[in-house]
Amino acid sequence: MSSAGPPPTPVGPATLITVKVQLHENNRRFKIPLGDLGPSVLPQKLQQLLGIPADDTVVFERYSDSAGCHVLLDPSNPAVYKQLYRAAKAKLKLRIKATVKSSEDEEEAIPEPQSPPRCNYLETVLGSPAPQLEAQPESQPQVQPQPQVQSHQRAFLLSQDSLTVPIVHHHSTATGNYSIDCNACGRSIPDEHFHCSICFDGDYDLCPSCIASGATCPGGGHWLIRRYVKDGTVINSTTETIGSQKLVPEITPQEPSSQATLPFSGAMDDQPAKRICNSCVKELEESHFVTCQECEDHDLCINCLLRDTHGHHPAHTFILLGDRQFSLRNLVLSRCQPGRHRQHAAICDGCEKRIVGVRHKCLTCPDWDYCSDCHANAAQDHQGHRFVPVYETIAEPPVSHEVHYGIFCDGPLCKDQPYANYIAGVRYKCSVCYDLDLCAKCEAHPSNTHNRTHPMVMLKTPVRNVTVSTTHDSAPGAQPATPASRPQQSTSTQGPTPAPPPAPAPVPPAAVAAAVAAAESPILSVPDAMDVETRAPAPEIIEPETDYQAVFVADTVLDGSTRAPNQVFQQAWTLRNSGPLAWPAGTDVRFVGGDSMFNVDLSQAMSLSSMSAAMETDKLPAPVAPGECATFTVTLKAPSRVGTAISYWRLKLPNGLPFGHRLWCDIQVREKESPVAVPVDEADEADKAHSGSQMIFPKLEKESPETSTHAEAEAAPTVPSQPSERDVLEEVESLTLDEDTETDLLTDDEYDILDASDQEYLDAKSASAKQKKKKKKKKKRDTMLRYLLSLLVAALAALLYTPISRNVTVLGFSRAPLTSPVRAQGEGFYRIEDTMQCEDLHYHEPSGKIFAACEDSILPRFEWFPPLGLFKGSAQTTGSIHLIDPKTMKSTRLQFENFSGPFITHGFDLVADPAHPNAVYIHAVNHLANPSASDSPESDRPKARSQIEIFHHVLGTSTARFVRSVRHPLIATPNDIYAVSPDSFYVTNDHSHRAGLLRHVEDLVPYLGWSSTVHVQLSDLAARDAEDDVTVQTALTGLKNNNGLGHGAHPDEVLVTSAIGGELYRASVSSDTHTLAVEETIPVDSTIDNPSYYRDPKGVPGNDASGYVLAGLRRAADLPGTVNDPEGKVSVIVWLVRRNESAGDGVGVWEQRVLFEDDGTNMSSASAAVLVPAEDGVSGKKAWLFVSGFISESVVAVEVDL
């Protein structure tokens, strides 16, 4: 796994440079700041660090990697130190060779030819003229030949170590006039030249031939002064501005003339020019670079540009150096543009295309974006709004906007649309205008002509029956203005026409004063059924005409029924369809106004979906024909307040259109009557008080007071009276102890016996009480345990009932076997030869061909196929990529180049080659054996080591060139691939465990979402090792057995399927984090595999056959018994899932249609299916359905009627 390195540290004058100096065959290292590498500081500093005496002459040479030799560091030549500075800044290190020359060595040394010093501009202008030489005839100029001396050093010019420019030494002309050297070509300029007074400390000159070739000074926008040198005096002529160019044109060496001598020998003219990348600091040929047009000196190699880790400003434009053709030229040119060809998760509101490159976002509008082309006209099309450029992709997770059903936008962007849609998201309602609503986009758009002074009410969630009224201070006694929308008031009859409301009551003076105080204040209110009579009559709302009719028949809760506060009850309305149209499935009764009698707990937070569910009855599971009746039931809860409560309801279609009689629920909320205790008369109480042994008990109303008392003493049975404590004490005092009484007393032994018996009695009584208490606690505990066990069993049953019943349906246990081999809705049937066990199919519309990944033999897959847990055989077979022509029903194999296998095919995908319009890249799964596991079969190491193979195919040819392999630990059990670009793709891992018991647990146990989808990013397509330059991250988790991937209805939609779960997930891609977010789940009643999308070429609104094509197993429960049998049969089924247009624009309304079924005779197993439109000459909507299977003998084509 490779990862991008940290951004390069900025290099400044204080950055330390490692300088390696070689002196007398010894190497020494020093750290010298970058700012001390100038010609006036570096030689003295090195001489001091090396300890060389100041009297000795030291020659310093820098080793140049591009030239392959040492270059003399001449302090008088600033160009050589400029190149040294650039090399040190790029590499942060230098190699220098120091040579010490004594005085004796200088005398014995062979004199080398010394070039005349370069003519400085200041010396030319301020110095005195040189003595004139004797005139010579112009036809025979005197040229002094220069002796040729071999030397290991070479003179350095401004060509940046390029050996293609000849070395030219300057000298005076034969006439003796002063001359200046050209900084571009190095030749002497005898007369006319162009001078820059800024570059090179005021010493930069160019000859006219270089100016004509396009050369200019390094500085941008400098003035170049045109000058003439005459008799030692500089004459200014004209002034012009020449723009800076990064490339100095290559000057072709001219023939020697009288003004110059070329003593250069051994020039390497074939040596290509090289540059240093500012990102990776590598020195490469100039043709491998791009250069920034805005920066003065910034070059990038192509690898750093494609990796997009250089950190250069994304608004700068690069140009490609050198005009040559290579495979990724178009991709490189796209990355050179501002924005670096990033694909944003946004659609341009000007051209309605995906924004690629720079995204310009409006700072005023909530959701308005332009691409670079449309932004050029933003001043005219989007006036007054500011835009900000967005270069990096922004993570924008999908947000589900609430739909305001029945509310249409009146703004400039929506009212001219051919198909009007309900407002989704934020709704703005004008409090002044009648029936004016705006969506968020239209409200902020500059072309919105609505009066900006009108107060707007912002509604983030759907609100039913909004009343917006405004009071004005100009008319204190005036009634509120006409509301923009009034709720429909239910009447006391169940007819379709409401009865006129009663006349409004007179307004009291206090109400008028309050209205005057709240001047011009918009009021948002919800009508209450209790004060309907006090409201002013509202204008009748005219509902749209419809042919749907409904007549009230009966209800369960009669008007005026009594209910306790907060009592939960059910109301059911029975309605009859009076025709002429049938009620569609999904029709229900919805709340439209009145008291809120919803069965919800308002003391706790709840979701909007829960609130919406409480405001609707159960939906029709099937259409109701005219003349038939249907009952709609809803659970309600009485209000907490006491009084009358009325709730109004209407029957509505799935798209929100109301029709039929108006409905309501009218109840009386009353407290329950508690039992009342009736006291006995006071006189009777006084009489009973005289008899101390009598007790009086209060009785209920229905009991007689006389029967609630004991009878009188004389009529009562004989019962000994209970004396009071005072009486007992008096009797004790009145006792007299006679002598005879001693015989009646108990002895001490008798007292002991009595005490012992009393203690035993008390102990026994206490033990009995403890035993009873213990038994009571045990009984209570057992009751609680039984109750908890019952709750647990009920919870498990409720939790597992849905997934178990779902698995029974998906696996086909409840589906009866077919009685005939083929069930299709067309007559044509073809079997494509040489297409055995094709796991995946893809229809390539530009070429009109179907790509398939197939095997070359039948038997090996029944022994080695890791996706089905088969690891018995050897993984040595070589599959192939096939091209199927829908017109001829013939298959052609692609011959692999530079690839010999093995190749055990599975899922694959195609992506266009950005550098070649007629070529595609093929990313395919290859299930290879693990070499380490084959040596030790009893080990725990996985037996398979799957990887991804990448091929390159040019359309129209019969070959596929192998590009590279991709392997990573996160690519564990690959199944299918979704390719975004040649170096970016997604892979599904259908299981978390490759084999063993846990793999079966994943398949059978519900709610185990252990599978994953990963994103793979390649930094180098030319890498030879499968694990090099590979970055993998997890993109999606939590799904059960996700295996298939496919392209959806638009580029931002990714299709993911769960094979055993029988679910299709519509997901979106986050381009900056490379993650997938599931937008919607579509359940299907069978197992499904690799998905595809069919776009109807003849589709029109109301008659569009576009949808998702899903192939699967009709009875997946039969697969374990036939997976090892080549003669076994597995029945198949193919679905077409498309949106139900009659159900409106609501998300989740899908229509499922069976296109093809087979009992396994013609097609054993189905893993992929694609629809190809039939030829235009065919009448009606017909298409060819191509179906393939992972253990089928061939691909079949069936003509179906859509």
Inter-residue contact 331 to 302 (CB < 8 Å): no
If asked whether residues 1097 and 1196 sit together in one domain, one would say yes
In a domain, 539, yes or no: no
If asked whether residues 939 and 1048 sit together in one domain, one would say yes
The burial class, CB within 10 Å (0-12 / 13-18 / 19+), for 692 is exposed
pLDDT recorded at residue 536 = 38
pLDDT recorded at residue 96 = 92
In a domain, 226, yes or no: no
Report in angstroms the alpha-carbon separations of 138 from 143, 174, 256, 774. 12, 9, 16, 138
Q: Which two tokens stand for residue 795?
A: 């919870």
* Domain finish residue from 59, 92, 108: 108
CA distance 1026 to 1024: 6
If asked whether residues 429 and 322 sit together in one domain, one would say no
**Distance from the Cα of residue 360 to its chain's centroid:** 20
CA distance 974 to 991: 9
Q: What is the mean pLDDT of residues 59-81?
A: 83
Q: For residue 781, is pLDDT > 70?
A: yes
If asked whether residues 960 and 1028 sit together in one domain, one would say yes
In a domain, 742, yes or no: no
Q: For residue 1065, is pLDDT > 90?
A: yes
CATH number of the domain encompassing residue 325? 3.30.60
Q: For residue 713, is pLDDT > 70?
A: no
Inter-residue contact 485 to 466 (CB < 8 Å): yes
Inter-residue contact 131 to 248 (CB < 8 Å): no
Q: For residue 858, is pLDDT > 50?
A: yes
Q: What is the mean pLDDT of residues 846-868?
A: 86
If asked whether residues 332 and 356 sit together in one domain, one would say no
Confidence of residue 683 (pLDDT cuts 50, 70, 90): very low
pLDDT recorded at residue 103 = 52
Residue with tokens 């109750």: 787
Domain span holding position 88 = 16-108
pLDDT recorded at residue 954 = 94
pLDDT recorded at residue 652 = 93
Confidence of residue 749 (pLDDT cuts 50, 70, 90): low
Size of the chain, expressed as the number of residues it contains? 1202
pLDDT recorded at residue 922 = 96
Q: For residue 981, is pLDDT > 90?
A: yes
Q: For residue 361, is pLDDT > 60?
A: yes
Question: Which of 52-66, 471-485, 1062-1076, 1106-1120 comes out lowest in average pLDDT?
Answer: 471-485
Confidence of residue 158 (pLDDT cuts 50, 70, 90): very low
Inter-residue contact 88 to 34 (CB < 8 Å): yes
If asked whether residues 1027 and 979 sit together in one domain, one would say yes
CATH number of the domain encompassing residue 1034? 2.120.10.30
| H or E, element range at 274 | strand 274-276
Closest CA to 1088 of 805, 810, 866: 810
CA distance 462 to 442: 18
Inter-residue contact 330 to 914 (CB < 8 Å): yes
Q: Which two tokens stand for residue 364?
A: 């005023």
pLDDT recorded at residue 947 = 93
Inter-residue contact 839 to 853 (CB < 8 Å): yes
- Secondary-structure breakdown of the chain: helix, strand, coil percentages, each rounded to the nearest 5: 20, 30, 50
Confidence of residue 991 (pLDDT cuts 50, 70, 90): confident
**Maximum average pLDDT range among 484-488, 867-871, 1140-1144:** 867-871
If asked whether residues 462 and 608 sit together in one domain, one would say no
If asked whether residues 290 and 436 sit together in one domain, one would say no
Confidence of residue 939 (pLDDT cuts 50, 70, 90): low
**Taking CA 1027 as the corner, what is the angle to CA 1025 and CA 1030, rounded to the nearest 5 degrees?**
120
CA distance 1128 to 1113: 14
* Domain finish residue from 59, 87, 108: 108
Backbone angles phi, psi at 19, to 5 degrees: -115, 120
**Maximum average pLDDT range among 405-419, 684-698, 978-992, 1094-1108:** 978-992
Q: What is the mean pLDDT of residues 693-718?
A: 40
If asked whether residues 1063 and 1138 sit together in one domain, one would say yes
Q: For residue 196, is pLDDT > 70?
A: yes
CA distance 409 to 424: 10
Inter-residue contact 955 to 918 (CB < 8 Å): yes
CA distance 354 to 720: 105
Overall domain count for the chain: 6
If asked whether residues 361 and 414 sit together in one domain, one would say no
In a domain, 1068, yes or no: yes
Torsion of CA 812, 818, 824, 827, to 10 degrees: 170
In a domain, 994, yes or no: yes
Provide, rounded to the nearest whole percent, the portion of the chain with pLDDT above 70.
Answer: 71
In a domain, 356, yes or no: yes
The burial class, CB within 10 Å (0-12 / 13-18 / 19+), for 138 is exposed
Number of continuous H segments (helices) and E segments (strands) in the chain: 18, 63
Q: For residue 163, is pLDDT > 50?
A: no
Global pTM value: 0.41
Provide, rounded to the nearest whole percent, the portion of the chain with pLDDT above 90.
Answer: 26
pLDDT recorded at residue 650 = 93
In a domain, 770, yes or no: no
If asked whether residues 851 and 884 sit together in one domain, one would say yes
CA distance 466 to 843: 51
Higher local confidence (pLDDT), 1202 or 1082: 1082
pLDDT recorded at residue 192 = 83
Q: Which two tokens stand for residue 503?
A: 């006349």
The pLDDT mean for the chain works out to 75
Dump pLDDT digits (tens) for 234-283. 676 544 445 444 443 343 334 433 333 333 333 344 567 788 888 888 88
Inter-residue contact 167 to 186 (CB < 8 Å): yes
CATH number of the domain encompassing residue 377? 3.30.60.90
Where would I find the beta strands (DSSP E) of 297-433? 299-301, 318-320, 343-347, 354-356, 359-362, 369-370, 387-390, 403-408, 422-424, 427-430
If asked whether residues 332 and 347 sit together in one domain, one would say no
Dump pLDDT digits (tens) for 755-770. 665 666 677 777 778 7
Q: Which two tokens stand for residue 372?
A: 């670079």
**Distance from the Cα of residue 784 to its chain's centroid:** 49
In a domain, 175, yes or no: no
Q: Which residues contact 956 (CB under 8 A, 6 or more apart)?
A: 847, 918
* Domain finish residue from 56, 73, 108: 108
CA distance 1035 to 987: 9
Confidence of residue 1169 (pLDDT cuts 50, 70, 90): very high
Q: For residue 698, is pLDDT > 50?
A: no
Residue with tokens 């409401």: 498
